[in-house]
Amino acid sequence: MKRTARRLADGREIIYFDDTADAPPRTAADERDLPEARPASEVRRDPLTGEWVAMAAHRQTRTYKPPADLCPLCPSAPGKPTEIPESSYDVAVFENRFPSFAQGVPDVPPTVEGMPMVARAAGRGRCEVVCFTSDHNTSFGELPPSRVRTVVDVWADRTAALAEVSGVEQVFPFENRGEEIGVTLHHPHGQVYGYPFVTPKTERMLAMAAEYRDAHGRPLMGDVLAAERAAGTRVVETSEHWTAFVPAAARWPVEVHVVPHRQVPDLPALTDAERDDFALVYLRVLGRLDGLYRRPLPYVAAWHQAPVRTGRDLAWLHLEVFSVLRTADKLKYLAGSESGMGVWINDVTPEQIAERLRESHK
């Protein structure tokens, strides 16, 4: 894989990752007249829960559902410059023009005025866009295994790079797919967030992992994985290095965890063999998801990795894929119990959805 770093007109970094042997040199300049990027993100700590909340008012002006011929993630064409100056690309990563977190954001007072119990800080981190292909009219599940393998290497590259960025405490690669999820750009792409704090879900998972290890002397995910593989009733796909299963306490109407058989803290720790194997297993999982309702399934694909500085001996890397679609034409809305209390109520059992996924195909 060839890696080439360049700069966009407003100073943001763009990196090309080429996996084709005859890919041309990446020398195209961004000729747009862009103002200097000046994000003003901040984070505030909720004193009642201890959770950090990001404020990024500049994102209100971000691109919203442009027509396909004006897609900012497609390659540039004569008279139609985009975020990617080249006329073609394999995989491209660039700093988000409307980031939730960024370097160079202005300092803020340590607490909210008149509220000394509400901590406040600059939202320093980094947010990147990952374009999986230059083809606007495809999806991640339709990529060849070789391209998925490239994307895994890109995720690992960006995880390692963002872990070195000042202020970043956790790196989160993810993909949102489908309007029902809230996607506003239909070009196949994902994002990578470098958070300036450890996220609430990760904190909770690490606490549970520590509690289980103290009680049993073994990693929690390792025992969960062994039990799921032994039972088999919720397993959707399995291979030499990975198992995909519907978790026994699934929250979402469609939810699959893709877990490596070996405990590793993050994507950079995966071996070449594990990365190769993931590409094949994940494509099979996505095929089953799209076959479930005989339509492209809207989903969020979220990588759970260890934080940069804490819990690295407790974390077990895994991918969580979930959907808000509970039937072919019905959405699960987060109602009072889920939104107000965080108590989830599922309309289908994990065993039922696993059986349907095992029987489905594109």
Please give the helix or strand (H or E) that residue 111 lies within, else none.
Answer: strand 111-112
Q: Measure the CA–CA gap between 242 and 259, rounded to whole angstroms.
A: 6
Q: Count the neighbouring beta carbons within 10 Å of the beta carbon of residue 97.
A: 20
Distance CA 348, CA 250 (A): 9
DSSP 8-state secondary structure symbol assigned to residue 77 = B
Q: Residue 115, SS3?
A: strand
Give bridge partners of residue 318 from the DSSP assignment: 304
Nearest CA-CA partner of 278 in 95, 132, 152: 152
Token readout for 238 is 């399995």
- As a residue count, the chain comes to 362
**Is 189 designated active site?**
yes
Cα dist. 139→19, 286, 287, 296 in Å? Answer: 18, 10, 11, 9
Among 51, 71, 168, 172, which Cα is nearest to 118's?
51
Return the number of other C-beta atoms located less than 10 Å from residue 206's C-beta: 20
Phi, psi of 19 (to 5 degrees): -110, 0
Structure tokens at 18: 């080429």
Catalytic residue among 189, 257, 304, 318: 189
Helix (H) or strand (E) segment spanning residue 291:
helix 272-292
Residue positions annotated with a catalytic role: 189
